[in-house]
Structure 1
Amino acid sequence: MTQRLLIGRCLSALATALIPTTLTLAVLRITDDGGALGIVLASEMVPLLLLLPVGGVLADRIRPELVALLADLVRCLSQAVIAVELLLGVHRLLDLALLSALSGAAISFGSPAVPRMVVAVVPSQDRLRMNTRIGVATSLSAVVAPALAGTITVAAGPGWAVALTAVLFACSALTLGGIRTRAPDRGGQDATSSFGRDVAEGWREIRARPWFLACVLGHGVWHLVAGVFLTLGPVMAVQELGGEASWALIVQSGTAGMVLGVFAAPRLPIRRPLAVVQAGAACYLLPMAALAAGSSLWVMTSAYFVAMFGLGLLSPLWETVVADEVPEHALGRVRSFDHLISFASRPFGLATAAPLAAVTGVTALALIGGALVAAANLAAILLLGKPSKASSGPDPDRKHAPSSQ
């Protein structure tokens, strides 16, 4: 079952990573209007944010493999329809926007189900290793997918790239859908309880763990600041550091750092995993400081490498500790809140970076962003090991510290 879970997550990660590039190239074949492209890309985000709480409740009510199966089948269907339209020469932006919205709705249900599936299938002592493997697959997919989508689009057209995405989602659905888990433990809660009551219960689980809320808010600031950097960084690279190749080098260094961080997470003798998680997020101060200082290409590249290495450490450690500390019957709802903060913060940073920079200047905005990401994440460390009486354990940072492997 663990092998099936890993293969399914790899297929889904690659398919998900293909979508932004294939969709962008498909829209650009229709129009060069940047506003139209923005609308199509945003169409996925709106239902995703609105339906995440519903997805969290559903993930805690029924078997997670069924949710993953349906979510990936819906995404397969949406991509298949887009592929057919493009291959037939039908180019309607409205169709692309509506089908992207359908895909976003599917993500809102599938995302909270994945942590529950890992908990249901993988023994506690093996979860860090599994989360590491999933993290590596996700990181590599982010590198491979744009090149793969671009190559197929140039050689055969965007319709075939979208068709490949649909096939990958179909394979992922069949793989994950074949996993068998036990019926969800409702934690003594009435099986006929209302949606509102389920959401309230999930929020109580979050409030009972101040360390979780503090960490998630810190991660939200990370995503916000990352959106700012990913908007202003390319402009600086093109104008002051040697052109587009310079930004490509910075991005590639970040990818390498993230993959190395994911590999290192289960192998380092970490005694306080949540402290490492928050320190890793705080490392995003470095590229923001480099941006503010107008640093050289190599300084910027090195700073981004370290920041993304911190993200690589963060991902598997966070997934593992939260899965161990949050009761399984509430994990879907708790993680849906986590995903909601993350998914909402990055687009907000991307959207506001340029207007804010026009008012404050790039230097001031970068310094403020760097200070915020460091302060929010390092301050969360103060709450580690101090859960409320309702929390499930005396010290979430020490109780499940991974050993060196």
Structure 2
Amino acid sequence: MATPTPTPATADEPAGRPAVPLWTRDFRYYFTARLVSLLGDAMLPVALMYGVVSLGYGASGVGYVLASQMLPLAVFVLFGGVLADRFTPRRMMIGADALRLLVQGCAAASFAVGHPPLWLLMGLAALSGTATAAFQPGVASVVPQVAVDLQRANATLRIAEAIATMGGPTLAALLLAVGDVATVLALDAGTFAVSGLCLLMLRLAPVPRPARKASTWRNLVEGWHEFRSRTWLWAVIVVWVVNGLVAFGPIRPVTTVLVTGAYGAAGLGAVWTAFGAGNVLGGLLGVRLRPARPLAAGATAMLVWALMPLSNALALPLWGRAACFAAGGAAWAFWSVMWATSVQSHVPGEVLNRVYAYDVAGSLIAFPAGQALAGPVSELLGARTAQTASAVVATASFVVLLLVRAVRTLPRADRPRPAAAPAPEPADA
């Protein structure tokens, strides 16, 4: 086997500190691509939901459009993982950004020139979801190629996501106040152009790829075997599916009903702003803290997340709910850093995109169902009772996760696991 040329993902590291600074040329471009793209993603729901309602399609129309985007993402993300391993994630991500630029440009034009029909908005949302399915698998596998210190890089990206999550809706609201839906959608389209250009500027070393003659089905099966063979990996996804149905999925719609009813739109904004601020804190903790058992530390932190539905169940005053949502946001971000770093460092690079695609599909599949069931279940049991159940299930599921030996004992690994037999490939141009 030829000795691979050291790259930012494989170079030796002095103990306790990265061999090179985090902010290398490639990481700066990748960080910019993610920050701008995430900012656009955070703006889009506000503009789209406002636009759909203003057209007279009501809450059902909003649900149809959001479902039209989520369903293709959940269905096609596995194929996105196969194609990313075959053609490199960067090419897939650039292509996805180009498609989303076109889709959001068409959506902006449809609002600018008239009254777009619901079927058109649903179709554009479906194309956007399909493009996201092609983009998402590469998010995990590019990080080891642009950064030495995976945990620090993931934490920094998580902070950027938190900032975008807080700033995006506010920016969208300001633009809607002085402009219209078409303006926000056009700006969102521009974020994908910036993201694609930044990704195009990356200089990545060649990575092992599966044999091109292998069928898509065989590649999917290989990815499934890699996913299934890691108990810590599928155990986390099982817990995520359960919580997606009972806790993570319902939290936003039920919080909207309970907080808006008591404190109005300003109260709802305060609660979710606190959650975003907690995300920033969790990202900063991810930079500083380096537990020897990252998944165990992350799962322990997620016990704090249960404070979010519990605060709704107890009908705490606004400041109390905001504090609980801030704590839950910090736990969520810290877990995300521990999880992403564990996956990137324990899964071989040649199958990482496919394994991560199974991760995304499993994580997302229950969220729409949980969101859809939140209303009927809340009407049947009462919203506060349903949130009590969410808090109990979330707490119990993460306790169970900590009882899984493979999760509890998974060691820290600061560098990606080397590929078994790298195949000669031309550099990713």
- TM-score, normalized by length of structure 2? 0.85
Query: What one-letter code is carried by the residue in structure 1 that aligns with 2:156?
Result: R
Q: Offset of 1:249 from its aligned partner?
A: 2.1
Match of 2:249 among 207, 227, 247: 227
1:52 aligns with 2:77: yes
Is the CA contact 1:274–1:384 (under 8 Å) kept in the aligned structure 2?
A: no
Q: Aligned match of 2:356 in 335, 345, 349?
A: 335
Separation in structure 2 between the aligned mates of residue 286 and residue 26 of structure 1, nearest angstrom: 33
Cα deviations by residue, 1:249-288 (Å, 9 ceiling, x for unpaired):
2222211111111111121252321112112223222222
Equivalent residues in 2 for 1:161-176 (5 A)? Answer: 161-176=184-199
CA 1:364 to 1:90, structure 2 compared with 1: closer, same or farther past 3 Å? closer
Shift, 1:196, TM fit: 1.4
- The DSSP-based 3-state class of the residue aligned with 1:335 is helix
Alignment match, 1:397: 411
- Aligned with residue 337 of structure 2, among 304, 307, 316: 316
Q: Percent identity?
A: 28
Alpha-carbon distance in 1 for matches of 2:212, 2:399: 40
Contact 2:250 2:371 (8 Å CA) reproduced: yes
1:236 to 254, 258, 261: 258
In 1, the alpha carbon distance for the partners of 2:381 and 2:265 equals 25
Cα distance, 1:369–1:62 mapped onto 2, change above 3 Å: same
Report the equivalent of 2:49.
24
Matches within 5 A, 1:177-216: 177-186=200-209, 189-216=210-237
d(CA) in 1 for partners of 2:407 and 2:240? 19
Alpha-carbon offset, residue 299 of structure 1: 2.8
Deviates more, 1:171-180 or 1:32-41: 32-41
Alpha-carbon contact 2:307-2:328 (below 8 Å) kept: yes
String of CA shifts for 1:121-159, please: whole Å, max 9, x gaps. 222xx2212111211111111111112122222212111
Q: 1:18 to 1:10 in 2, by over 3 A?
A: same
- What corresponds to 2:419 in structure 1? none
Query: For residue 303 of structure 2, what is the aligned residue in structure 1?
Result: 282
Q: How does 1:2-401 map to 2 (within 5 A)?
A: 2-123=27-148, 126-186=149-209, 189-224=210-245, 225-239=247-261, 241-385=262-406, 396-400=410-414
1:172-212: CA deviation from partner (whole Å, max 9, x where unpaired) = 111112223234413xx533111111111111111211011
Aligned-partner residue type, residue 41 of structure 2 = T
Q: Is the 8 A contact 1:24 1:37 kept in 2?
A: yes
Residue type of the alignment partner of 1:306: A
2:400 is paired with a residue whose SS is helix
Change (3 A) 1:246 1:160: closer
Structure 2: how far apart are the matches of 1:109 and 1:84? Answer: 24
Residue 385 of structure 1, CA deviation: 4.0
Looking at structure 2, the residues matched to 359 and 382 of structure 1 have their Cα atoms a distance apart, in angstroms, of: 33
Deviation, 1:339, is: 1.0
Which amino acid in 2 is paired with 1:230? Answer: R
User: CA contact under 8 A between 2:244 and 2:363: conserved in structure 1?
Assistant: yes
Matches of 2:59 and 2:193, distance apart in 1: 31
- Unpaired stretches in structure 2, ≥5 consecutive residues: 1-25, 416-429
Corresponding residue for residue 392 of structure 1: none
CA deviation profile, 1:343-385 (whole Å, cap 9, x unmatched) = 2222222111121122233343222221211222222222244
Conserved 8 A contact 2:223-2:354: yes
- What SS class does the counterpart of residue 284 from structure 1 fall into? helix
CA distance in 1, matches of 2:377, 2:214: 45
Q: TM-score with structure 1 length normalisation?
A: 0.90
In the TM superposition, residue 90 of structure 1 has moved relative to its aligned partner by 4.8
Asked if the contact 1:65/1:180 (under 8 Å) is kept, the reply is: no
- Secondary structure of 1:397 counterpart: coil
